[in-house]
Chain A
C-alpha cells in the first residue's frame, strides 16, 4: 500500500504562536492531499485540501504547502489557540479512485 508519514508525532506550542505540522508522502503520482483534524472522541474533520497543480493554499488561519520535488506537505496554523489541540492527519490520494491513505498523525498540544 501507500505510505504517508509524519515527521513529528507530537508537537507542543504556546498559545498565540504559529504551528507547523509536516508530512512526507511516498507516491509521486498522488495529485490530491487533505489535512484532517481529529479531536478526542470525534471523527476526523476536514481542514483544508490542495491539488498537485498548486504549491500553496490558504484558509482561515491555516495554510497548506506542497513541495512535490521532495514529496512533502505541511500545515501551518497561525496564532494557535487551545481549540487547535488535536491530532492532525495528512491524507494522500494516489489517483486510484476516491481512496485515501492516511499518515499516523501528529498530536498538537497548545499550552495556554
Chain B
C-alpha cells in the first residue's frame, strides 16, 4: 500500500510570492489534514478536508487556503509569502468512516522563504 505522498520535497520562494503544495492520500482515505511544523517545534494544525469540503481550519490567516479534489488529493496554497512561513508542511490522511483512527503522514514539503 502506497503511503501519503507530498510534492515537491523542497520549495524555495521569495517574500510576496505564492506557493502550492500537493498531497496524495493513502488509497481509500477521504480526509486530508495539513500541518505546519516550524523548525524545532510541534505540529500546528492548518486545515482539514473531507469529501471535497473544508471541515475545519486552524488559527492561520486567510492567505493559507487549500482544496481537495474528487480523487481526494489536496493542494495547500499560501499567498503573499512571509519569512515566518518557512517551515515543514506535513500532510496526513485517514478514513473517518472507519471511526477515529491514526492519521498517516507524508514526509512533508520543506518551504523556504528567502
Binding site for B on A (CB under 8 A): 1, 31-32, 34, 36, 41-46, 49, 89, 93, 95, 97-105
* Contacts A32-B100, A101-B45, A102-B42 given; does A44 touch B105 at CB 8 Å: yes
A1 pairs with B56, CB closer than 8 A: no
0 or 1 for each of B1-40: is its CB under 8 Å from A? (1 = yes): 0001000000000000000000000000001010100000
- Please indicate the chain B residues that have their CB under 8 angstroms from the CB of A46 in the complex: 102, 104
A45 pairs with B42, CB closer than 8 A: no
**Interface of A, helix, strand, loop or mixed by DSSP:** loop
Selected from B48, B90, B101, B106, the residue in CB contact (under 8 A) with A99 is: B48
* Contacts A43-B107, A49-B102 given; does A98 touch B43 at CB 8 Å: no
- Please indicate the chain A residues that have their CB under 8 angstroms from the CB of B100 in the complex: 31-32, 93, 95, 98
Report the minimal beta-carbon distance from B66 to chain A, rounded to whole angstroms: 15
- Please indicate the chain A residues that have their CB under 8 angstroms from the CB of B96 in the complex: 97-98
Q: Which residue of A lies closest to B104 (CB)?
A: A46
- Please indicate the chain A residues that have their CB under 8 angstroms from the CB of B101 in the complex: 98
Binding site for A on B (CB under 8 A): 4, 31, 33, 35, 41-43, 45, 48, 55-56, 58-59, 90, 92, 94, 96, 100-108
- Please indicate the chain A residues that have their CB under 8 angstroms from the CB of B55 in the complex: 97
Report the minimal beta-carbon distance from B101 to chain A, rounded to whole angstroms: 7
* Max chain B C-beta neighbours (<10 A), residue from A44, A89, A102: A44
B42 pairs with A44, CB closer than 8 A: no
Q: Which residue of A lies closest to B58 (CB)?
A: A1
- Please indicate the chain B residues that have their CB under 8 angstroms from the CB of A98 in the complex: 31, 48, 94, 96, 100-101, 103
Complexed CA–CA distance, A12 and B107 (Å) = 25
Please give 4 more A-B residue pairs, beta carbons under 8 A apart, in addition to A43-B90, A102-B42. A32-B100, A42-B107, A46-B102, A99-B33
7 A-B contacts, Cβ less than 8 Å apart?
A42-B108, A43-B105, A44-B90, A46-B104, A89-B42, A99-B33, A101-B45
Complexed CA–CA distance, A93 and B92 (Å) = 15
Selected from B31, B41, B103, the residue in CB contact (under 8 A) with A104 is: B41
* Max chain A C-beta neighbours (<10 A), residue from B55, B90, B94, B107: B107
